[in-house]
Amino acid sequence: MNCPNCGYEYPYPDGEMMVCPDCQNQWDPNAAPVIEVQEIKDVNGNVLQDGDSVTVIKDLKVKGASGSVKVGTKVKGIRLIHDSSDGHDIACKVDGFGAINLKSQFVKKA
């Protein structure tokens, strides 16, 4: 088991804790790993949360739809997607389109 702080290969046990002799980091090897969740921000830098309302700031073409989501469209009750691989980090329902995913860079908090 390597040190989670510096990656040193030879930490030693000290009671129930592990100690890294290189960086002096101490950790519990039986503890659940800490998962860091990145904050999702709108175009103005405001932190978004599940359930927020946002406004679209640019006309957005929707694949498979005949129209587009127009600038100024208000979307209520968003759900954040933290592990999106395609950059769409907001799941929501838009009137006239149904359930779609948006990128946070194209919305502002209402």
**CA-to-CA distance for 67 and 64, rounded, in angstroms?**
9
Alpha-carbon distances, residue 53 vs 20, 31, 47, 105 (angstroms): 46, 37, 12, 15
pLDDT tens-digit map of 23-46: 999 999 888 777 777 899 999 999
In this prediction the pTM is 0.66
Q: What pLDDT digit, counting tens, does each position of 57-89 carry? A: 999 998 888 889 999 999 999 999 988 888 899
Q: Span 41-55, mean pLDDT?
A: 96
